[in-house]
Every structure is written in C-alpha cells, then in structure tokens.
Copies of this chain bind each other. A is one copy, B any other.
C-alpha cells in the first residue's frame, strides 16, 4: 500500500519494429529517431521520473531478454510490417511477464501483433482506410486517469481510419471513442486486465502521419504508461495451488 505515497520511478521499455523508418525515407523524415524515439520522448516529457529505454526487432532477442523484461515496469509496443518476424519465444516471454504484472501499452497497428492477439484471444481485426481522415477522440470515461488533462475531443487533423467492428473482448474500461471524417467510429482507448497485468490499447498513430508529435496524443500515451505501472506487484504469473483445508489459518501463524 506504500506504493502510492513513495515517489514512483517507472522503468519503461519502448519497443518498435523499426522497419518503416529504416526502409522508407518519408517515414524517416517524419520520425528521425524512429517511432520508438518519439514515444520514448513523450514518456520522458510527461513522466519525468521514468527511466526509459528502447528496443527494436533487429536487436538480439528483439531486445526483450528475460533480464530486460524483469527490469521493465511497463512495455510499449509498436509494430506493423513485421509482426510475423517477432519470435514466438519472445512473445511467450512477454505474455508471461504481462500476466505476472508488467504493464503493456499497445499502440495503433500493434492491434495485429502476436502479443496482443495472444492476450485478447480474438482476431483483433478491424476496418481501415489510408484516406487522410480527420480523427476526433472523445472521452467517455472522464474519471479515468488515462483521460486526465486530455481535451474532448482530441483533434487529429490527418489520420489513417480504423473502424468497427474491432474484434476485441469487451474492454474492462472504455476510455475513448473516435470518429473519422468518413463517418466511422472506433473504440480507440481500451483497458484490459489480464493475470496480474494491466493493458492499455490506444489506436491513434501511424507511420504515414505525424501523430506521435501531437501534444495530446503524447499525453495519452504517457498517461497510459503511468496507469499500467504497478510498483507493488511481484513479477509472478498466477499459478495452480493445491490447498489443504484451512490452509489460510496456517498462514496466519
């Protein structure tokens, strides 16, 4: 219970496949430090006590070794072109850490990542269009910490469209709903609890648009990181326990 009173200094790992940035000049111009660099800067800006590192697909074990994950309170995930190149063993490791209490913030096209699909159990399919829509992100849960300080609507002048039906489990909390110029709607900010971990999915963000430079989008990502962090939780996925009758009385002694 002391977690809330002591200063928190969450250890954040920002993961990015970093494929578009290394192969497409336009994307590199938009995100000179990579999308991971921009996400890391957004977290550092709004969570000044955080320790932020980055990791990418090209790193050994994608930069997500057991040691890194054990020292990560919240992992953010961006992927798009190379979901299939993420090693299954790494996905299982990340899933185990999430179920053990590590926070996970999944961004935009990460909806189709192996790790998100494994945690959701569904196809995570959606409708989409690269049509320069304007996206409006409306807060529908104003009590949620992730919505703190975020205008409603949050206005993104140009965006890829993501539309319903979005095949996810009903979220534990629906924080944001987006509309697009074309009339589509999308559950764009959703939380899920899985095992001992907290997951936040936030859909705005694309390699073709400067969305991660948007000050309000940066705030939401950082709020999500802060919300997903749980300092007090020992990193241990739930396990099967055989219990004798009255086992809890034993515990008391």
Interface residues of A (CB under 8 A from B): 1-5, 8, 46-49, 95, 99, 101, 118-123, 125-129, 131, 133-134, 136, 138-143, 145, 148-149, 151-153, 155, 161, 163-167, 169-170, 172-174, 177-185, 187, 192-198, 219, 222-223, 226, 230, 232-233, 237-246, 248-249, 251-252
Residues of chain B with a CB closer than 8 A to A121's CB: 95, 118-121, 194
* Shortest Cβ-Cβ A-B pairs, 3 listed: A1-B149, A167-B238, A119-B121
Residues of chain B with a CB closer than 8 A to A155's CB: 248-249, 252
With known contacts A145-B4, A170-B174, A238-B167, A243–B140 Cβ distance under 8 A: no
With known contacts A140-B187, A185-B178, A248-B136, A123–B232 Cβ distance under 8 A: no
| Further 20 A-B residue pairs, CB within 8 A, beyond A128-B242, A138-B184, A174-B174 | A1-B223, A3-B148, A4-B8, A99-B122, A118-B121, A122-B195, A127-B243, A128-B241, A129-B244, A131-B244, A136-B185, A140-B165, A140-B187, A148-B232, A152-B165, A155-B248, A169-B169, A179-B183, A182-B246, A183-B246
Task: Give the number of times this chain occurs in the complex, counting copies.
Answer: 4
Residues of chain B with a CB closer than 8 A to A178's CB: 185
Q: Which of B1, B120, B133, B139 contacts A164 (CB 8 A)?
A: B139
Residues of chain B with a CB closer than 8 A to A46's CB: 1
Asked if B129 contacts A142 (CB within 8 A), the reply is: no
With known contacts A177-B185, A197-B143, A244-B129, A165–B48 Cβ distance under 8 A: no
Asked if B164 contacts A177 (CB within 8 A), the reply is: yes
With known contacts A123-B99, A140-B166, A248–B5 Cβ distance under 8 A: no
Residues of chain B with a CB closer than 8 A to A249's CB: 155
Asked if B193 contacts A123 (CB within 8 A), the reply is: no
Asked if B193 contacts A243 (CB within 8 A), the reply is: no
In the complex the two chains form, what is the Cα distance from A228 to B129 in whole Å? Answer: 34
In the complex the two chains form, what is the Cα distance from A72 to B28 in whole Å? Answer: 50
